Structure 1
Amino acid sequence: MKVGLFGLLGTGNLGNDGSLTAVLAHLREEYPRARVEVFCSGPEEVTARHHVHAVPMNWNRDEYATASRLSSIVRKGLGKVVDAFRTANWVRRQDVVIVPGMGVLETTLPLRPWGWPYSLFLMSLSGKLFRTKVVFLAVGAGKVADRANRTLLVGAARLAHYRSYRDEISRDALTAMGLDTADDPVHTDLAFALPNPHPPVDHGVVGVGVMDYHGSNSDRARAAEIHRAYVTGMTEFVRRLVEDGRTVRLFVGDQVDERVARKIIDTIGAAAVSVVQTSTLDELLHEMARVETIVASRYHNVLVAVKLGKPTVGVGYAAKSDALMAGMGLAEFCQSMRDLDVDRLVKQFTVLEERASEVRSVLTRRNAEMTRRVTRQLAELSAILRGDR
């Protein structure tokens, strides 16, 4: 069996790479003789970490760099043509192509149509042309405002053999954009398939997840203002924790987030604040397991926190974070990073600590349900690989 995995993988996004880890573990356990290949943005990193053959998604390795010179623009344009043939040839060689989780059908962060949406559409179209089954597995989606991105992303989903979602809001978003999702199941995020570590907990330590946030795809004109307000608010919150005698560990979910963490430390200048270095979701799970309570921004920081059963406040940038928190019984402990209210955040954190025992009990029950959901999702994947659906 020839199985391809497709996505923005190996580029430092811990959530994306965690979804890849979960699917690879399932394939190796259930189909150890399958030939697995990954078509991705960071093939060297994927090969080194997972010991699987990986192919670069783009002929132009500077695909996501800003093109200002004429030569760069011409190279990007040529790359689009070359990538159409490269993608088709790769898909043609697979029996099944899996898009493992990730927010592949949303534009909650800045996204250009000729980047990821174009690559995803090429892959789905190639699958249809060459009768390769394309599987969108527990993916995230959002309602896309601009026509070009919407056409490519919805078109890619429409051409797939199978689609499932990590939450109801993802399926509802595609329904609202005109896709028939009546037969599409909703399960949960693939990260719930990963095992939880159990290191000793450093009592009284607070984990704070931060993000290099500049607004959504429609906020480009105000990106700098939004970023500055978010960083200022999170810095003030961390300052108050330190003044209260707390030790704070800053977590990131993508390599670019570290500069925000460094800004916070430079501004506060406190020895009680440090940045936790992690390069995989497994490492993030282990490090977050060592703190007592968590305030998190990036989606997969929130997910890891609640998966570990940690009392958590979610400072999210999209509805998916609120949906996750509500699904885990923590709807009252959410707010938007776009309109961050530090006083409210302090109150939420205070109440969270007062009710920590109750929150842990709720999370234990909800995690048991999430484990059942992700098990059903992987069973459906096995049925597709066997040819039963």
Structure 2
Amino acid sequence: MTPPARIGLFGLLGSGNLGNDGSFEAVLAYLRAHHPDAAISVMCGGPEIVASRYGLETTPLNWYAREYRTVSGLSSIVAKAVGKLVDIGRTAAWVRRQDLVIVPGMGVLESTLPLRPWGFPYSLLLLTASGRLAGTKVALLSVGASASSHRATRAIFAWAARLASFRSYRDEPSREAVRALGVDVTADRVYPDLAFALPVPEEPVVPRSVGVGVMAYRGGNDDRARAAELYDSYVDTMIRFVAKLAGDGRQVRLFIGDQADRQVVEEIVTELGSPLVSAPETSTLAEVMRAMSTVETVVATRYHNVLCALKLAKPTLSLGYARKNDVLMTQLGLGEFCRSVRDIEVGDLVGRFTELEKRADELHATLRARGAEQTRLLERQFAELSATFLPEGAR
């Protein structure tokens, strides 16, 4: 009798980013449906949250608990350096216990937001290198990637991707970004973002209501000196836009994509003090999608807020901080409703939103058809993963 497969899931999970956790939930649902006997464990950034929420065995991603906080003082610097060495053995030991490790989506090869090469990129490299040494297969599933201007980050990303046993990307630009790193991507496939596999909730829609997904936007790696300026400009624009919507008598629901975004929500609600502006409590992507299903149209910044709206077939206006937003919108047929978060202006935003509403019926039909295709493609990817790495345990 074949023993149950031992499957590990790896990433910045349970760390506050709802998009990351949504991708994880999609893969977990697939494994529980098609490989119910598999022994699943998780190496992640928020082990306590993942263990309590999903009932899984977890291992901290890093030995040093303050890994993703800015160090100050000699003792913190030393502890962080020691942690890098300790994590080599910890990661290798965890990987050795698995038959397959899945990195469930996420922008694990991206540098569109502030990123240090010795943070998560280093952890990803330890994972794929350990997989090669231990003979454990590592699958990067529907991951995001982007070009980086940082030499060390590019080198780490290149080796991390090269050492993986399986790679697929959530869009073609991600695949091209990895090819530009010098990795042979000939056999790699492009599949939709894993969150498209999540179920669609059905809630009553409030007429003329608008969902606004906000973000604690501070630019990328090259914008650290202007981070506060970018943040203030973005928040001011969103306050004025939401005020315009509420002034027209519309109900506005504010959504987050990361726990860090709650600060923006609080600033908007406090500044406007309007009973028409509310913010549902959400801690998972599924909860965001359920709350978002009650609005007619959506304006959003974070990638996975945009994805939720498209999955729900809501006419959507994207205020993107990276190319991935535009690619996603174009794939779903709404490429003309993209704006860059860097240069949005309230007048233009209102004009594009007005056009969006005029074409709502047409866009809704397009989104339903294209969204269904995204789901079918993910089912194909899951079947490929089972056939390639878990043929004995597939149901």
Report if TM-score (shorter chain) is over 0.5.
yes
Q: Provide the rounded CA distance (Å) in 1 between the counterparts of 2:391 and 2:312.
A: 35
> What amino acid does structure 1 have at the position aligned with 2:231?
H
The size of the alignment, in residue pairs, is 388
1:32-55, Cα deviation, whole Å (9 max, x unpaired): 111110000001100111111111
1:341-377, Cα deviation, whole Å (9 max, x unpaired): 2211111100111111001011011112111111111
Query: Where does residue 251 of structure 2 map in the other structure?
Result: 247
- In the TM superposition, what are the counterparts of 1:1-389 in structure 2 within 5 Å? 1-386=5-390
Stretch deviating more after TM superposition (338-347 or 127-136): 338-347
Q: Provide the rounded CA distance (Å) in 2 between the counterparts of 1:62 and 1:143.
A: 27
> What amino acid does structure 2 have at the position aligned with 1:56?
P
Q: Secondary structure at the match of 1:219?
A: helix
1:72-124, Cα deviation, whole Å (9 max, x unpaired): 11111111111111001111111111000001000111001111011000111
Q: Provide the rounded CA distance (Å) in 1 between the counterparts of 2:153 and 2:22.
A: 25
Q: Provide the rounded CA distance (Å) in 2 between the counterparts of 1:354 and 1:129.
A: 57
Q: Provide the rounded CA distance (Å) in 1 between the counterparts of 2:252 and 2:123.
A: 40
Q: Provide the rounded CA distance (Å) in 1 between the counterparts of 2:222 and 2:157.
A: 17
How much has 1:384 moved relative to structure 2?
Answer: 2.5
Q: Secondary structure at the match of 2:221?
A: coil
Stretch deviating more after TM superposition (7-16 or 175-184): 175-184
Stretch deviating more after TM superposition (373-382 or 131-140): 373-382
Q: Provide the rounded CA distance (Å) in 1 between the counterparts of 2:323 and 2:180.
A: 15
Q: Provide the rounded CA distance (Å) in 1 between the counterparts of 2:347 and 2:384.
A: 45
Q: Provide the rounded CA distance (Å) in 2 between the counterparts of 1:76 and 1:387.
A: 41
Q: Provide the rounded CA distance (Å) in 1 between the counterparts of 2:203 and 2:238.
A: 27
The runs of 5 or more residues in structure 1 that have no matched partner are: none
Q: Provide the rounded CA distance (Å) in 2 between the counterparts of 1:53 and 1:385.
A: 21
How much has 1:387 moved relative to structure 2?
Answer: 5.5
Q: Provide the rounded CA distance (Å) in 2 between the counterparts of 1:339 and 1:154.
A: 32
Q: Provide the rounded CA distance (Å) in 2 between the counterparts of 1:230 and 1:377.
A: 37
1:181-211, Cα deviation, whole Å (9 max, x unpaired): 1110001011111110111111111100000
How much has 1:245 moved relative to structure 2?
Answer: 1.4
The runs of 5 or more residues in structure 2 that have no matched partner are: none
Runs of 4+ in 1 over 3 A off after TM superposition: none
Q: Provide the rounded CA distance (Å) in 2 between the counterparts of 1:269 and 1:185.
A: 48
Q: Provide the rounded CA distance (Å) in 2 between the counterparts of 1:159 and 1:188.
A: 23
Quick one: percent identity of the two aligned structures? 57
1:303-328, Cα deviation, whole Å (9 max, x unpaired): 00000000110111100000000000
Q: Provide the rounded CA distance (Å) in 2 between the counterparts of 1:29 and 1:365.
A: 25
How much has 1:332 moved relative to structure 2?
Answer: 0.8
1:98-156, Cα deviation, whole Å (9 max, x unpaired): 00000100011100111101100011110011111010001011111101111111210
Q: Secondary structure at the match of 1:103?
A: coil
Q: Secondary structure at the match of 1:218?
A: helix
Q: Secondary structure at the match of 1:97?
A: strand
Aligned-pair RMSD on alpha carbons?
1.0
> What amino acid does structure 1 have at the position aligned with 2:92?
A
